[in-house]
Amino acid sequence: MSNIYQSNDTNILHAAEIIKKGGLVAFPTETVYGLGANVYNSSAVANIFAAKQRPHFDPLISHIAEIDFLPEYAATDGRVIALAKHFWPGPLTMVLNRIEENPSIDLACSGLRTLTVRMPNHQTALSLIKKSGVPIVAPSANKYQSISPTTAQHVADGLGDKVDMILDGGNCSVGVESTIIDLTGKEVVLLRAGGTAKEDIETFLGEKVLISDGNPDMPTAPGQLLRHYAPKNQLRINVEKPEKDEFFIGFGMINGDLNLSEKGDLAEAASHLFAYLRLADQHATNGKIAIAPIPQNGLGLAINDRIKRASYLK
């Protein structure tokens, strides 16, 4: 029997009860589907790590539904609040200092003195958070290091009955995870490129945003591991002419078996990326996938980050 339920008021209320009781609910956001639990319930958070087979040193993002709640949850200043009011709800995550020694959120924070938080731009997600009455910690709802899910069926295919309930809110509109910036110091540091363009943050702040790949052995935010978002088959990137035995994902004028965006639209390409990697995995009969070059600007920064990590060979 399927554990996928259409997103409506009745099912969201039921999902909120599951969260309150310590269960796991997969839900849609504008970026990807998240695997959610009550951030204050360490047993439920532990079940997220177990379901995903994710190492405990890789911290999770907390999702909130009200900007006014942020100062109660994390250390804030004028810059943090201004960014929240401008970019939230939306695909921007902030790394902030913790303001309390609450041991119940240690696991979600991987024991760090910082936490990561955002407000998703999806009505189902916001409604679920409000009805649950707590921040919902939620990494992508897929097995560790595999391709992120952008539909409810992707979640079911990857995690099955490890999830108590999957809320189906349709396809994710952005299709890549949120941008993560570290605001714990004087300078703003990009830790993960994502659905909010680095250039847009710089324009709003009137200052340069530094870039850090972090330490993959001691990540301070999600998405810093060398291999992540990976298909089962070997992936070759920045390919203009594929080999005969490669399943080829094109972009713009470079066509292939699939094309992320024939118009060369980076937003369209981002929304298709994970779904097309899944299709390529299914149809790569010779075990090889190749993908065309993607411009390194705007959302292209996020796309290139994902495919670089997806292609990493240990």
What DSSP string describes 98-163? BSS--GGGTTTTTT-SEEEEE--S-HHHHHHHHHHTS-EE--BSSSTTBPPPSSHHHHHHHHGGGS
- Residue 206 structure tokens: 């009137």
CATH of domain 4-211: 3.90.870.10
Domain ranges of the chain: 4-211, 234-311
Is there a contact between 37 and 136 (Cβ–Cβ < 8 Å)? yes
Per-residue confidence in pLDDT tens, the chain, 314 aa: 689 999 999 999 999 999 999 999 999 999 999 999 999 999 999 999 999 988 888 899 999 999 999 999 999 999 999 999 999 999 999 999 999 778 889 999 998 999 999 999 999 999 999 999 999 999 999 998 899 999 999 999 999 999 999 999 999 999 999 999 999 999 999 999 999 999 999 999 999 999 987 777 667 777 777 778 889 999 999 999 999 999 999 999 999 999 999 999 999 999 999 999 999 999 998 899 999 999 999 999 999 999 999 998 86
Residue written as tokens 């069926």?
Answer: 153
Distance between CA atoms of 262 and 181, rounded to whole angstroms? 31
In the prediction, which pLDDT does 216 show? 72
In the prediction, which pLDDT does 1 show? 61
Pick from 309, 308, 314: nearest CA to 293: 308
Count Cβ atoms below 10 Å from residue 279 Cβ, excluding itself.
Answer: 17
In the prediction, which pLDDT does 314 show? 67
In one-letter notation, the amino acid at residue 292 is A
In the prediction, which pLDDT does 108 show? 93
The distance from CA 70 to its chain's CA centroid, rounded to whole angstroms, is 20
pTM of the model: 0.91
Distance between CA atoms of 134 and 243, rounded to whole angstroms? 51
